[in-house]
């Protein structure tokens, strides 16, 4: 049993036994440690907006903070409207207030927008100290320590003074070199996101140019059951909303030259079989594994037996387009190459194979105009799922072949570079975790593998 001195309890200023009986106790006893206040760094609270005021320009929120990196949205890829001390600068560490605590490193290409009041900005650390600080904060044990020391009983949040005065272990040798390589990789990843978002904006504009200015009588959502429709608008479903969108789709085909999706699809060789017998842990592709980049990254290793989702027996194939069946969370993925190792999609995905330029059609399917069609064809008690027959009823704009070839080529090149950077980032995270484990000699086993590499260790 480890004894806790009264001096240590007085220094920490808390009585929570889970702090002094947990994995952080050896670190709190370290003779050589440091804090942000000792290094001269400052901690700034994020921007608080007036209760009735509008947000001025883009802002970084909790949802934009991942493990060690800042995830952009399309709205962030613009010049800042104003610059003050709460705007993110290169080298800043953005830390979430709420649990689970996360820290992200701001690279040189970051757009200088403010963070909201649910985040802190740590400024003034050199690159090596900032990287080491972010690595430590992203550890669950350290984040739990910050929350418990803050004394939040109902809403677990980190206080500013706790963050500024928390003790960290001295960084081991090798952090300086790793920090420069991580910053370079983060900057290239951020530039890659910006490049894609600007390309997607051009795609959205091109699709919008094919939408008629006068969208016909049935284009608007149905607000009442008391409405008459042309017999030609009635298809397989008598639900008024389905009849309305069916008439709108006929209008798009007749007056705007849109094409039914079934004319663009080839034979789907993947089949619809599901996993039915016991298998070891496999990589399953869920909706949460795909973001706005349409890319099938390396998802976590999961056990299909412990999941409530059914899994396709055939893995994701080359040139396959995946469209989410959950219309309340629209997602589109394109596999320019077959993922290695194999990835098995759950049956929340519709699997499509286009005869030509599948990458371009994946971009079109990600457009809000197509999501609108799907959402109005949804079924279920809360109208959130799109069954296969709704996919066959989709109509797509007639994009010229030469434009689709350019779109397809761009997306393939972008995904290839992105996957290469993912591999590079995974190698750097593995090296970072090895440096964290070097502290176990003095602090005990307080670290866990970072999220991006944790699934690798789960492989048999």
Q: Are 140 and 202 found together in one domain?
A: no
Mean pLDDT of the chain: 85
Which pLDDT does position 83 carry in this prediction? 76
What pTM, to 2 d.p., does this model score? 0.86
Instruction: State how far the Cα of 146 lies from the Cα of 162, in Å rounded to an integer.
Output: 7
Asked whether residue 413 is domain-assigned, the answer is: no
Is 70 exceeded by the pLDDT of residue 85?
Answer: yes
Task: Tell whether 238 is covered by a domain.
Answer: yes
Q: What is the pLDDT of residues 371-388, one digit of tens each?
A: 888 877 777 655 678 888
Domain hosting 18: range is 6-185+432-458
Which has more pLDDT, 266 or 226? 266
Considering the domain architecture, whether residues 442 and 402 belong to the same structural domain is answered as no
Percent of the chain with pLDDT over 90: 49
- Both tokens assigned to 301: 């290793």
- Which of 131-145, 213-227, 244-258, 441-455 has maximum average pLDDT? 131-145
Nearest residue to 433 (alpha-carbon basis) of 187, 23, 135 = 135
Is the pLDDT at 232 greater than 70? The verdict is no
Kindly report which listed range (17-26, 49-58, 111-120, 220-229) carries the lowest average pLDDT score.
220-229
CATH classification of the domain holding 365 = 3.90.220.20
Least reliable range by pLDDT among 182-186, 277-281, 367-371: 277-281
Work out how many domains the chain is built from and give that number. 2
CA dist list (Å): 455 to 19, 276, 292: 28, 23, 22
Question: Has residue 87 been placed in a domain?
Answer: yes
DSSP track, 2-53: ----HHHHHHHT---HHHHSSTTHHHHT-SSEE-TTTTT-EEEEPBPPPTTS
Identify whether 422 is part of a domain. Answer: no
Same domain for 40 and 109?
yes
Residue 344: inside a domain: yes
d(CA 17, CA 332): 47
Q: Are residues 156 and 296 in the same domain?
A: no
Look at residue 425 and tell me if it is in a domain.
no
Looking at the structure, do residues 176 and 212 belong to the same domain, yes or no? Answer: no
Could you tell me the pLDDT band of residue 458, with boundaries at 50, 70 and 90? very low
- 164 and 279 inside one domain: no
Final residue in a domain of this structure, among 391, 406, 421: 406
- Give yes or no: residues 215 and 96 share one domain: no
Has residue 275 been placed in a domain?
Answer: yes
168 and 225 housed in the same domain:
no
How confident is the model over 255-264, as a mean pLDDT?
88
* 460: confidence class by pLDDT, cuts 50, 70, 90: very low
Confidence of residue 304 (pLDDT cuts 50, 70, 90): low
Tell me: the pLDDT tens digits for 401-429? 999 999 999 999 999 999 999 999 999 99
3-state SS class at 280: coil
Segment 198-216 mean pLDDT: 85
Q: Is 299 helix (H, G, I), strand (E, B) or coil?
A: coil
pLDDT at 2: 64
Question: For residue 423, is it within any domain?
Answer: no
Q: Which residues contact 216 (CB under 8 A, 6 or more apart)?
A: 247, 248, 251, 255
- Residues 372, 284, single domain; the answer is yes
- How many Å is the Cα radius of gyration of the chain? 26
If asked whether residues 246 and 163 sit together in one domain, one would say no
106 and 167 belong to one structural domain:
yes
- Considering the domain architecture, whether residues 210 and 345 belong to the same structural domain is answered as yes
Q: Which residue has the higher pLDDT, 292 or 218?
A: 292
- Domain closes at, from 406, 422, 450: 406
């Amino acid at each position: 049993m480890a004894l806790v001195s009264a001096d240590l309890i007085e220094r920490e200023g808390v009585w929570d036994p889970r702090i002094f009986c947990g994995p952080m106790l050896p670190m709190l006893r370290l003779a050589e440690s440091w804090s942000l206040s000792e290094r001269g760094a400052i901690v700034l609270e994020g921007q608080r907006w007036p209760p009735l005021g509008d947000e001025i320009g883009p802002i970084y929120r909790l949802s934009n903070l991942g493990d060690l990196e800042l995830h952009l949205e399309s709205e962030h890829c613009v010049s800042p409207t104003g610059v003050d001390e709460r705007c993110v600068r290169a080298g800043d560490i953005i830390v979430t207030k709420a649990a689970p605590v996360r820290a992200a490193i701001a690279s040189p290409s970051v757009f200088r927008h403010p963070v909201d009041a649910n985040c802190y900005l740590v400024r003034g650390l050199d690159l090596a100290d900032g990287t080491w600080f972010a690595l430590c904060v992203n550890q669950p044990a350290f984040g739990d320590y910050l929350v418990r020391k803050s004394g939040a009983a109902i809403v677990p949040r980190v206080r500013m003074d706790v963050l500024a005065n928390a003790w960290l272990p001295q960084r081991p040798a090798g952090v300086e070199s790793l920090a420069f390589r991580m910053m370079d990789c983060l900057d290239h990843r951020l530039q890659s996101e910006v490049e894609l978002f600007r390309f997607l904006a051009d795609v959205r504009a091109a699709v919008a140019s094919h939408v008629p200015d006068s969208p016909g009588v049935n284009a608007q959502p149905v607000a009442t059951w008391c409405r008459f429709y042309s017999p030609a608008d009635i298809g397989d479903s008598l639900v008024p909303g389905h009849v309305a969108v069916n008439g709108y789709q006929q209008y798009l085909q007749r007056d705007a030259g849109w094409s039914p999706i079934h004319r663009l699809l080839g034979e789907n060789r993947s089949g619809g079989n599901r996993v039915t017998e016991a298998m070891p842990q496999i990589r399953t592709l869920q909706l949460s594994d795909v973001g706005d980049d349409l890319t099938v990254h390396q998802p976590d290793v999961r056990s299909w037996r412990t999941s409530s989702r059914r899994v396709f027996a055939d893995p994701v194939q080359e040139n396959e387009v995946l469209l989410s069946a959950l219309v309340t969370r629209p997602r589109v993925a394109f596999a320019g190459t077959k993922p290695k190792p194999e990835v098995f999609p759950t049956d929340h995905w519709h699997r499509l194979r286009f005869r030509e330029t599948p990458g371009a059609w994946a971009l079109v399917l990600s457009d809000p105009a197509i999501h609108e069609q799907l959402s109005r064809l949804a079924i279920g008690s809360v109208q959130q799922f799109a069954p296969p027959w709704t996919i066959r009823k989709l109509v797509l704009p007639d994009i010229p072949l030469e434009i689709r070839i350019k779109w397809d080529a761009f997306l393939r090149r972008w995904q290839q570079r992105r996957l290469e950077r993912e591999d590079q980032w995974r190698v750097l995270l593995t090296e970072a975790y090895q440096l964290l484990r070097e502290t176990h000699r003095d602090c005990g086993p307080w670290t866990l593998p970072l999220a991006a590499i944790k699934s690798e260790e789960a492989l048999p």
